[in-house]
Amino acid sequence: MSASFASALTAARDAAASQHYPQGALYVVATPIGNLADISLRALHVLQLADTVACEDTRHTQSLLRAYGIDKGAAQLLAVHQHNEAQAAQAVLERLQAGQRIAYVSDAGTPGVSDPGARLVAAVQAAGLRCVPLPGASSITSALSVAGAVAHGPADGGFLFAGFLPPKGAERAAAVQRLAAEPRCVVLLEAPHRIQDLAQALAVLGARRVTLARELTKQFEDISSHAARDLGAWLQGAPQRVKGEFVVLLHPMPQRQEDGAEADRVLGLLLAELPVKTAVRLAADLTGAPRNALYERALQLRRDAQD
């Protein structure tokens, strides 16, 4: 154990031990995505308390637990990964039905999003057993928090998580074309050996802003933003730029004032003759403006007309 975590285990016990941790429950535990200090006190306590730790890679998880000073024997570690998740879920169910507390961890971050875990959780829920989330590190929210890429307007607020795009060129290009029409921020994930291919595919987006977040929370963390058409050249500028795991953020599609004015004009003409829903649907088809924004604008125009 690293001496720096000895006090963390004591703090975890003091902070979390008084809470209730039911038996026969699956605890879905987020682990650090790089920096070992990004572990929660409750996660440390549950990992100590668990009768079994189900994990994506038993060797990786054993090393992680030992770094925190948590000792689990080989029989207490159960491999549950993308290749055996459906079958291994049965072993988890048997242990849960025997009253065990089971913690599930992926190699890094929050299980069940881009890592294994979703099928395991579904099986546990289908059996009428409890799943308890323990939040923590996430590469997705970490990247979003520093990219300034989430808009807050009525039409394009929030973000879309698209994960890994198809690896084959034609399928990837088709996926990018679909995302090109998405006005919100889009979150992608990519591995180092495919980041150049993704950059090439995204070049068709031209000036649209893209943030690359590489090796988040690790020693060589790098976060930079560029126009989509410039990504390939930037990646080729230094060998280290293509190393590590990537979160790729497509910034919201910029809205031009003239586009909004045209949509407003078309919507006003249609509202003079048609019900709101019909006018909004037709205005969206004619102008390409987001339907939700047109609907809000239509209601405002109707209110203004009544005043």
Burial class (CB in 10 A: 0-12, 13-18, 19+), 300: exposed
What pLDDT does 253 receive?
80
Residue 301 pLDDT:
84
Residue with tokens 């890094």: 108
What confidence score (pLDDT) does residue 290 get? 80
Q: Which residue has the higher pLDDT, 180 or 155?
A: 180
Q: What per-residue confidence (pLDDT) applies to 152?
A: 67
Q: Please give the structure tokens belonging to residue 1.
A: 């154990």
What's residue 257's pLDDT?
Answer: 45
pLDDT at 259: 54
At residue 292, does pLDDT exceed 90? no
User: Which residue did the predictor score with more confidence, 2 or 87?
Assistant: 87
Per the structure block, which two tokens stand in for 147?
């990219």
| pLDDT surpassing 70 at residue 202 | yes
- Tell me which residue has tokens 């730790």: 53
- The residue-averaged pLDDT of 136-146 equals 95
| Predicted local confidence at residue 82, as pLDDT | 87
Question: Span 3-137: which CATH code?
Answer: 3.40.1010.10
pLDDT for residue 39 is more than 70: yes
CA 97 from centroid of its chain's CA atoms: 31
Cα–Cα dist 185/163, whole Å: 13
For the chain, the average pLDDT equals: 91
Output the pLDDT for position 258: 46
Tell which wins on pLDDT, 221 or 156. 221
Dig out the tokens for 73 from the structure.
């024997």
Structure confidence by residue, pLDDT tens digits, 45-54: 999 999 999 9
Task: Name the CATH topology of 140-250.
Answer: 3.30.950
Domain spans, the chain: 3-137, 140-250, 257-306
CA distance linking residue 129 with residue 151, whole number of Å: 38
Contact 106, 56 (CB under 8 A): yes
Strand order in the sheet with 159-163: 159-163, 185-190, 246-250, 209-214, 222-227
Segment 162-176 mean pLDDT: 94
Q: Is 160 left (phi over 0), alpha (psi -120 to 50) or beta?
A: beta
Q: 41, 93 in Cβ contact below 8 A?
A: no
